[in-house]
Structures are given as structure tokens and as C-alpha cells.
Amino acid sequence: MSSGKTKVVLDTNAFIAAYYNPNSASAQIIDLCRRGKCQVVFSPSLRKEVELILKQVKARKEFQAVVRAFFRDAHMVRITREIPLIMEDPDDNKFLNCALRGKADYLVTSDRHLLKLGEYLGTKICKPSQFLSHVFLKRSRPKDN
């Protein structure tokens, strides 16, 4: 799967932010991914968590349908052996393991345990607003000549 597109893993908090604020950086990232501007990488456990949390917050059916379509178009990786990398919050390991397994360029999150890593084995870990400004806004700016 070498499409040349930026590969990204989105933490559950990105989907929640997008649901509650359709103008958020997270919502913009989801829209860019849905339009094929980058390649989303996910694992079955990541998808399950996102769907469960959206049901718990009683997300509108329309938004849940968008998320299901989002995952249909994304690249699924199977985590055969989870490596315990984040000791403070072991639930965060699924995101980092997914990023590593899928050779993601970015892990987009608002989680402080993940953010404090900054980067891990070639995967940059950043907030949604940083991802937008570093990856997409940089590309769309005209070059100075």
C-alpha cells in the first residue's frame, strides 16, 4: 500500500471533537481523509472503540454513518502482538501499535500521554491543529519564488 499519500491514525478523541464541533480541525481532517487527501490506517480494536464511544455519546445516526463509510475506505491493519509502550494509560497503546503496524506518518490525538512522545519510530504524534497546519496548509501555500 504505497499510494504516496500521508498515512494517518486518528485517535478516538478526533472523532468526538468532529462530532461536537463540525468546524474543528478534527472535522476538517476527517473530511480531507474522506476526500482521499491522505490514507487512514486503523485496527479493528480502534474502530470498535470509536463506534462504542459514538453510541455512548448518542451521536446522530448520520454522523455514525459517515464514520462507518470513513472506515470502509480506510486501510485496516491487524495487530498480532500489542507492545505495551504507554504505561501511564495502557488503553493508548492500541493507537500507537496501529500507527507502527500500519507505518503511519502521523498519529493525530489530543491525548497528553501520546503527545508527550512527540514521535515514535518515525510516526509523528501531534494535535489535530498541528497536523492540519504542518501537512495540509503547508502543501496548499504557493511557493515563494
Domains and CATH numbers, the chain: 7-140 (3.40.50.1010)
Residue 3 and residue 39 in contact, taking contact as beta carbons nearer than 8 Å: yes
Q: Is the confidence at residue 145, as pLDDT, over 50? A: no
Q: How confident is the model at residue 105 (pLDDT cuts 50, 70, 90)?
A: very high
Predicted confidence band of residue 138 (pLDDT cuts 50, 70, 90): low
* CB atoms closer than 10 angstroms to residue 30: 24
How many residues are recorded in the chain?
145
- Per the model's pLDDT, the better-predicted residue between 2 and 47 turns out to be 47
101 CB-near residues (< 8 Å, 6+ apart): 41, 43, 77, 78, 79
Q: What is the pLDDT of residues 51-100, one digit of tens each?
A: 999 999 999 999 999 999 999 989 999 877 766 666 566 577 889 999 99
The answer to whether 53 and 15 have CB atoms below 8 angstroms apart is yes
Comparing CA positions, the residue from 94, 110, 91 lying closest to residue 102 is 94
